[in-house]
Amino acid sequence: MEGTDFKSVPSRCVRIIPLHDPISRDGPGPSESGPIASQGPDRTRFERLGYARGFERIAGLDEAGRGPLAGPVVAAAVILPKSAVLPGLRDSKKLTALQREKFFEEIHRRALAIGVGIVGHETIDRINILKATILAMNRALENLTAPPDYLLIDALTLPNLRIPQKALIKGDDLSQTIAAASVVAKVTRDRLMAEYDRRYPQYHFRSHKGYGTAEHLRALERFGPCPIHRKTFRRVRPPSVNHEP
Residues 123 and 138 in one domain: yes
Q: What contacts 94, CB < 8 A, 6 or more positions away?
A: 173
d(CA 236, CA 233): 5
Looking at residue 238, what is its pLDDT?
Answer: 61
Tens digit of each residue's pLDDT, the chain (245 residues): 444 445 444 444 333 222 223 333 333 233 444 444 444 478 999 999 999 999 999 999 999 999 999 999 999 999 999 999 999 999 999 999 999 999 999 999 999 999 999 999 999 999 999 999 999 999 999 999 999 999 999 999 999 999 999 999 999 999 999 999 999 999 999 999 999 999 999 999 999 999 999 999 999 999 999 999 999 999 997 654 444 54
Question: Number of structural domains, the chain?
Answer: 2
Residues 179 and 227 in one domain: no
Residues 185 and 213 in one domain: no
Q: Is 106 exposed, middle or buried (0-12, 13-18, 19+ CB in 10 A)?
A: middle
Residues 185 and 208 in one domain: no
Looking at residue 28, what is its pLDDT?
Answer: 29
Residue at 37 is within a domain: yes
Residue at 179 is within a domain: yes
Residue at 61 is within a domain: yes
Residues 218 and 149 in one domain: no
Range of the domain at 215: 203-241
Side-chain half-sphere exposure of 139, counting CA atoms within 13 A: 23
Radius of gyration of the chain from Cα atoms?
18
Residues 212 and 101 in one domain: no
Residues 130 and 214 in one domain: no
pTM of the predicted structure, to 2 decimals: 0.82
Residue at 228 is within a domain: yes
Q: Domain containing 148 — which CATH number?
A: 3.30.420.10
Residues 98 and 193 in one domain: yes
d(CA 201, CA 46): 43
d(CA 244, CA 234): 6
Question: DSSP label at 143?
Answer: T
| CB environment 190-215: b (16+ within 10 A), e (fewer) | bbbbebbbeebeebebeebbbbbeee
Distance separating the N- and C-terminal Cα atoms of the chain: 25
Residue at 62 is within a domain: yes
Model confidence over 165-193: pLDDT tens digits? 999 999 999 999 999 999 999 999 999 99
Residue of 212, 202, 205 lying closest to 191 (CA atoms): 205
Residues 66 and 146 in one domain: yes
